[in-house]
């Protein structure tokens, strides 16, 4: 038999943890969000929204035995919202709308879970329905964030101990008038680019800095959620595997944007080798020997053609990969670090992982990080980074 007093106390306790977002006031009177604001909102709200979606799916399928754990996780998520995500939101109108809906949705789930734990199914259904309405509102707001931030760029392929110089005109002969951090976001291209030798320079604005930068060091800004929801990058990864399997250089080159080329690393900590689009087309037959860094452990140099050094690793680990993860590196037993080079972290990727064959060979695994960025809204293959067991 359910205990009404216990249920009432539980609801009261949960309500005491729930800080009503409505008390924070409405969006009226706040300025509209700038493009930079929208980037900040997406960065703060995106991870929380994904966690909230996970909570929604679990609430819908929970049974009585799982309620205590789910209530604990929901309270933990609420604590994270107020301590981590909400304080990072800028003071602008759309950010406040997001905060109102996000906080209220979680409050509704907390109350519904408390009612379910007391056996009040009918009452809980009402709060679950209200939470679903708020989740739909959040999906709409997420779409507004995506569209509002469209056309923005972020700095990429700049080392974390360096900056991107902003110059008074196109080309390195012009004086430096500002700089962008290696991980700067919310960069606006404000006009047509101008070719200077093989490079394309574009006029930009970022905060109070305006001038010209080399377009090579910018990439279109896309949220992780939007990238992983787009089927085209995953299709591009499949096309990469097919091109490697068939040794089809032309097909491989078609996946690469001519201004980026293809960046390849034997390990993430070894230097990159850049291949132009024409070099990618000839990759399976090219006799050019290149330096790929040094071997893990021995420190001996790694030298050879792409077909001699990189192709065997693609055949070994990319083609038979059975685990595919979006934006998350997957590995096996290793003493090494599993991370992207800092200058690559602005670009989204898929990890294609070949797991160990059995429990006795835990070090026999391999992963390729397949970097994919957008050029004028179209995905293109950007980099390949190999991971394996390291000493």
Predicted local distance difference test score (pLDDT) of residue 59 = 87
pLDDT at 10 over 60: no
The stretch 365-384 carries a mean pLDDT of: 96
Judgement on whether residues 70 and 182 belong to the same structural domain of the protein: no
Residue 189: strand, helix, or coil: strand
Judgement on whether residues 213 and 79 belong to the same structural domain of the protein: no
Judgement on whether residues 228 and 203 belong to the same structural domain of the protein: no
Number of compact structural domains in the chain: 3
- The contacts of residue 51 (CB under 8 Å, 6+ apart) are 77, 80
314-356 pLDDT per residue, tens: 999 999 999 999 999 999 988 888 999 999 999 999 999 999 9
The C-alpha atoms of residue 52 and residue 123 are separated, in whole angstroms, by 21
For the record, the structure tokens of 388 come out as 């394996």
CATH code at 215? 2.30.30.40
Do the beta carbons of residue 145 and residue 186 sit within 8 Å?
no
pLDDT at 148 over 70: no
Predicted local distance difference test score (pLDDT) of residue 86 = 83
Predicted local distance difference test score (pLDDT) of residue 98 = 87
pLDDT at 389 over 80: yes
Give me the residues paired with residue 367 across strands. 353, 387
The pLDDT-based confidence of 312 (bands split at 50, 70, 90) is very high
Judgement on whether residues 209 and 245 belong to the same structural domain of the protein: no
DSSP, residue by residue, 228-271: HH-HHHHHHHHHHHHHHHHT-HHHHHTTB-TTT-EEEESSTTSP
Note down the domain range covering 251: 224-388
The C-alpha atoms of residue 144 and residue 34 are separated, in whole angstroms, by 13
Judgement on whether residues 230 and 261 belong to the same structural domain of the protein: yes
Judgement on whether residues 118 and 211 belong to the same structural domain of the protein: no
- The contacts of residue 290 (CB under 8 Å, 6+ apart) are 273, 303, 304, 305, 306, 309
**Which among 148, 165, 194 is the end of a domain?**
148
Do the beta carbons of residue 330 and residue 309 sit within 8 Å?
no
Q: Which residue has the tokens 């064959």?
A: 357
**Which among 96, 128, 148 is the end of a domain?**
148
The pLDDT-based confidence of 8 (bands split at 50, 70, 90) is very low
Judgement on whether residues 243 and 381 belong to the same structural domain of the protein: yes
CATH code at 131? 1.20.120
- By CB atoms closer than 10 A (0-12, 13-18, 19+), residue 230 is middle
Q: How many CB atoms lie within 10 A of CB 162?
A: 11
Do the beta carbons of residue 202 and residue 213 sit within 8 Å?
yes
Predicted local distance difference test score (pLDDT) of residue 22 = 33
Judgement on whether residues 238 and 295 belong to the same structural domain of the protein: yes
92-133 pLDDT per residue, tens: 888 888 888 888 999 999 999 999 988 889 999 999 999 999
The pLDDT-based confidence of 150 (bands split at 50, 70, 90) is low
């Amino acid at each position: 038999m359910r205990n009404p007093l216990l249920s009432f106390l539980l609801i009261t306790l949960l309500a005491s943890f729930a800080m009503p977002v409505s008390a924070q006031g409405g969006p009226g009177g706040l300025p509209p969000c700038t493009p930079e604001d929208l980037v900040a909102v997406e960065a703060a709200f995106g991870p929380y929204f994904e966690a909230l979606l996970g909570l929604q799916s679990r609430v819908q399928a929970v049974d009585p035995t799982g309620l205590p754990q789910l209530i604990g996780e929901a309270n933990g998520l609420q604590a994270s919202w107020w301590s981590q995500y909400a304080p990072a939101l800028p003071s602008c109108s759309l950010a406040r709308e997001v905060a109102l809906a996000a906080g209220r949705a979680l409050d509704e789930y907390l109350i519904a879970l408390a009612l379910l734990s007391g056996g009040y199914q009918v009452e809980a259904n009402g709060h679950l329905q209200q939470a679903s309405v708020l989740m739909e509102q959040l999906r709409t707001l997420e779409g507004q964030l995506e569209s509002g931030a469209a056309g923005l760029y972020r700095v990429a392929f700049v080392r974390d101990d360096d900056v991107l110089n902003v110059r008074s005109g196109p080309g390195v002969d012009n004086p430096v008038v500002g700089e962008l951090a290696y991980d700067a976001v919310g960069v606006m291209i404000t006009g047509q680019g101008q070719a200077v030798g093989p490079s394309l320079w574009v006029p930009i604005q970022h905060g109070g800095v305006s001038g010209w930068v080399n377009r090579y060091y910018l990439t279109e800004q896309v949220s992780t959620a939007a990238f992983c929801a787009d089927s085209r990058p995953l299709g591009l990864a499949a096309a990469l595997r097919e091109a490697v399997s068939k040794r089809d250089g032309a097909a491989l080159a078609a996946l690469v944007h001519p201004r980026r080329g293809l960046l390849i690393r034997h390990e993430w900590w070894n230097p990159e080798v850049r291949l132009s689009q024409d070099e990618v087309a000839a990759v399976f037959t090219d006799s050019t020997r290149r330096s790929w860094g040094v071997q893990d452990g021995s420190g001996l140099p790694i030298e050879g053609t792409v077909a001699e050094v990189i192709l065997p690793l693609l055949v070994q680990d990319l083609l038979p990969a059975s685990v595919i993860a979006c934006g998350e590196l997957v590995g096996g037993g290793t003493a090494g670090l599993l991370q992207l080079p800092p200058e690559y972290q602005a670009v989204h990727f898929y990890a294609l992982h070949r797991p160990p064959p059995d429990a006795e060979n835990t070090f026999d695994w391999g992963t390729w990080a397949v970097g994919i960025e957008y050029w004028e809204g179209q995905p293109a293959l950007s980099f390949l980074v190999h991971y394996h067991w390291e000493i």
